[in-house]
Structure formats: C-alpha cells, structure tokens
Amino acid sequence: MKLQKILARFQKLHPKEIDLSLGRIQKLCKKLGNPQDNLNCISVVGTNGKYSTIQALRAILNEANINFNIYTSPHIQKINERFIYNNHEINDLDLADLLTEVENINKNDPITFFEIITAAFFYGAKKYSNNITIIESGLFHRFDATNILKKNLSTVITSIGLDHLDWLPENEQTIDKIIYEKTSTLLNSNIIISKQSSKDILNKIQNSIKDNKSKKIIFGNEFNYLINENNFFFFEDEFGGIKLPYPNTKGKFQLDNITAAIATIRNLKLNIDDEKIKHGITKIKSIARLQEIKKGKLKNLIKKNRLFIDGSHNPLGAKALVDYLDTLNCQKHIILGMMANKDHNKYARCFNKKISSLTVIDIPNQKNAIKRDVLKKKIKLDGIEIQSKSSIQEAINSIPKKNNEIILITGSLYLAGEVLNLN
C-alpha cells in the first residue's frame, strides 16, 4: 500500500506522461550526487528485442557469477521488475524506502514518472557501482531519461523499426528519424549492432554512427551465427567459434538477440569461458515474449491446446511472431488488445492468411488502450470475421478449438501483464 501511494504521487508531479527532455532528470540527479556517473553500464537501445537481449546478458552474467544491476521498462506485473540490484529484484519495502528518499530530495519539482523512476534506479545502483549495470533505453534515446551517462562499456543496438510515431512531428515519422533519435548520441565505447530487418536499415544505422569513435561490432560482419538442424547452432566472431545448444526461448528471432548478447559479452573481455555462455543461454527467463502458459486458470480453459502470450505491438514484432507460427503445423488463433497509439491494421495484417481466427478485446485497467469495437473496425483481414469479446476469459471460451491448436494473446505488454495476473 505504501509503495502504491508513492507511485500515485509520482504520477502527479508532471502534467504530461511523456515529455521528452533531459533537463528535469539532470537537475534531480545533480541533487542526488550524479550517481549515474560512476556506473559501469551496458546501454541497450532499439525498437524490438531489447528485453530479450538484456535477459540473455543477465543469464550469461549470472552463470559466470558476475554481479549486475538491470533497469528495464515497462514492467509486466509489478514495478519492482524494473529494479534489479546485485542480481536480485528489489523487494517492496526497500523500493518504497528508495523512492521515498528520492521523492524527498526532489521536493515536488516537476518531473515525469519515468524520469523520477530512472533517477531512483541510478541512486539505488550507487551502492553496487562495481557491478555491471544494464540500462534499457525507453521511448527514444536522444532525449530519453536514461541518456545522461557520461561513459559506458558498450551499447547494443537491437532491431530498429517504426514505432511510437505519434511522438514525432507528422513530417518526421520516418525510419530515418527514428534511427537518428536512437543512435545519434551514443557514447564512445563498443557498439554492437544486432541483426536488422533489412540491409537498408543497417546501412542507415551505420551512416548515423559513422563519426562515432566506438569499435563497431556488426552482425553479418564481425559476428554471425549458423543454424544446425541437430538442436544446436554455431556462433562466430573475431575471437573464434562456439558450438551452442538451442536456448530455452521460442522463435528464431531470439537467436538474433542472444547472439548480440554473446558478442557484447565477448567484447567486454570479462574472461567468461565458453561453457558459461553455453549453460547461460539455456537459463534465459523470458516473460511475455512468446511465453507459453503451461498451467493456471486460463490454461485450464483451453484444455488440450497451447496458450502463448507475447507483448509485441508493432509490425516488426508481429512478423517475428508469424515466423514462429509458420513453423507450427496446426490451427492458430489470435486474441488481440492494443494501445491507442499503435498501427493497428498494419500489425494485424501481418497475420493475414496465417491464422484461423482473430478476437479483439479491451486491455483491462489501461485508459490509453483502444476500445475493442474501434479496434475491430480498423482491422481488415482476408476471409476472417473478426470477433469482439469483453474479457480475456470470454475471448478464450469463444474460440472454436479442437486439440493441439495454438491460442496467442498479443498486441501489448500491458495485456500480457493482465493475462499473467489473471492466470
């Protein structure tokens, strides 16, 4: 209860949920003693794959007994997920104490929720400044609250695509502008570029960082992987090759994220041997990223079928899901809920002729979600009548299913969180 009251007060400190600027967080962090200046950071920027890349880094570091802190956003079920210190998620009491101290130092100055939470993470991390600290960049990077570091160890650029266009001027809603916002102010360190969706996007990224003095480690050039059908794959970079087991994650796209994490680890020269990497990638914990729900109330509703949740919310993410669904020889059903500011039809069209049914729902407890009947009108799929249902349970029950079919609930991380809370 105490924690919820603090968070509610934070929401009232600034009239806008998002207001891209660095001035407010710089002011607060100065009051806090600029704790971010003494951290050994790996920055992760991009559109898709940031969370998965971070979870791969986490699993490898943990296997190698290397201490780390992690800051991610948004959270899925509870805000504690954003605060990982010394390899562990912070508990409610310690988080409430941390946020209270930062609140008192801020003294009601205007600041967005994300900014004060980010500042609080930095402040809490100062006790573990010798750890490797992994920072996920938020909406964009250039004016994102996380972009106040003075140095870092590496930057990982994950897959970049069109998303959050509503935060850009109408005449600047292009991939070029997004790449500029995410990459133009990267620090000089190591830059690892994950596999991109096209050669054109990769070229644009390389052009954006051409004056950056960092060592560039680029997928397809400095590192690569080769899939083998016998349940393993090969990773190769300038330090040599590794034969690796398939990770415990679903979807070929996860190899893009995992290999970027491996390339990052190896370029940091942490003396992590290959066996630690091999074991680490089999212990990746991936929540709401093609996560299969194998037990619980919702699983019980679908009987002898499979239930997945995924937090993807843009066409790039949808295409990755389709690539995985295409590997499954069965009927597929989509339950879809999305936030209002997304490209709804373009997202849904990625599943065209790939699925047997689509049911739209509201996202519970999200005022900025698109209403299901509005969403239904915006989506056009060939040969499929789109259903609208009032709840997750009703949507699951309404799907005509037999056995060994797939039900995938997708479209938003907020929806994924609600599914996990319900289950």
Task: Residue 328: count other Cβ atoms within 10 Å of its Cβ.
Answer: 12
Q: pLDDT at position 166, please?
A: 66
Least confidently predicted of 43-47, 181-185, 399-403, 418-422: 399-403
pLDDT at 16 over 80: no
Banded model confidence at residue 20, pLDDT cuts 50, 70, 90: confident
Q: Identify which has the larger pLDDT, 357 or 231.
A: 357
Which alpha helices (H) appear in 216-350, and where do they start and end? 253-268, 274-280, 297-302, 315-325, 344-349
Tokens standing for residue 18: 């998002």
pLDDT in tens, 240-272: 999 999 998 988 889 999 999 999 999 998 999
The Cα–Cα gap between 275 and 157 comes to 26
The Cα–Cα gap between 14 and 25 comes to 12
Banded model confidence at residue 138, pLDDT cuts 50, 70, 90: confident
**291-422 — its CATH code?**
3.90.190.20
**421: which DSSP letter?**
H
Average pLDDT, the chain: 94
Q: pLDDT at position 279, please?
A: 97
pLDDT in tens, 309-356: 999 999 999 999 999 999 999 999 999 999 998 999 999 999 999 999
Tokens standing for residue 19: 């207001």
Tokens standing for residue 267: 């370029």
Sheet bearing 387-388, strands edge to edge = 291-293, 306-309, 406-410, 332-336, 357-360, 387-388
The Cα–Cα gap between 192 and 194 comes to 6
Which alpha helices (H) appear in 110-252, and where do they start and end? 113-125, 175-183, 199-208
> Prior bond to 15 cis, omega within 30?
no
Q: Average of pLDDT values for 173-192?
A: 92
Amino acid in position 270: L
The domain made up of 2-280 has a fold known as UDP-N-acetylmuramoyl-L-alanine:D-glutamate ligase (3.40.1190)
**371: which DSSP letter?**
P
Tell which residue, 177, 171, 241, has the closest CA to residue 204.
177
Q: Average of pLDDT values for 162-173?
A: 73
Question: Across-strand partners of 69?
Answer: 133
The answer to whether 283 touches 381, Cβ cutoff 8 Å, is no
pLDDT at 275 over 80: yes
pLDDT at 168 over 90: no
The Cα–Cα gap between 19 and 114 comes to 10
Tokens standing for residue 20: 């891209």
Domain boundaries, the chain: 2-280, 291-422
Long-range contacts of 78-83 (CB under 8 A, 24+ apart): 79/3, 79/7, 79/117, 82/117, 82/121, 83/120, 83/121, 83/124
pLDDT at 298 over 80: yes
Q: pLDDT at position 229, please?
A: 76
pLDDT at 423 over 90: no
Q: pLDDT at position 167, please?
A: 67
Amino acid in position 43: S
Q: pLDDT at position 170, please?
A: 78
Q: pLDDT at position 251, please?
A: 86
Describe the crossing of helices 92-106 and 113-125 by its angle, rounded to 10 degrees.
110
Q: pLDDT at position 190, please?
A: 94
**151: which DSSP letter?**
-
Q: At a CB cut-off of 8 Å and minimum separation 6, what does 203 contact?
A: none
Banded model confidence at residue 79, pLDDT cuts 50, 70, 90: very high
Q: pLDDT at position 172, please?
A: 75
Q: pLDDT at position 286, please?
A: 86
The Cα–Cα gap between 361 and 363 comes to 7
What are the distances in angstroms from CA 404 to CA 73, 292, 336?
A: 34, 13, 20
Least confidently predicted of 24-28, 69-73, 139-143, 279-283: 139-143
Q: Average of pLDDT values for 77-99?
A: 97
Q: pLDDT at position 335, please?
A: 97
What predicted TM-score, i.e. pTM, was given to this entire model?
0.94
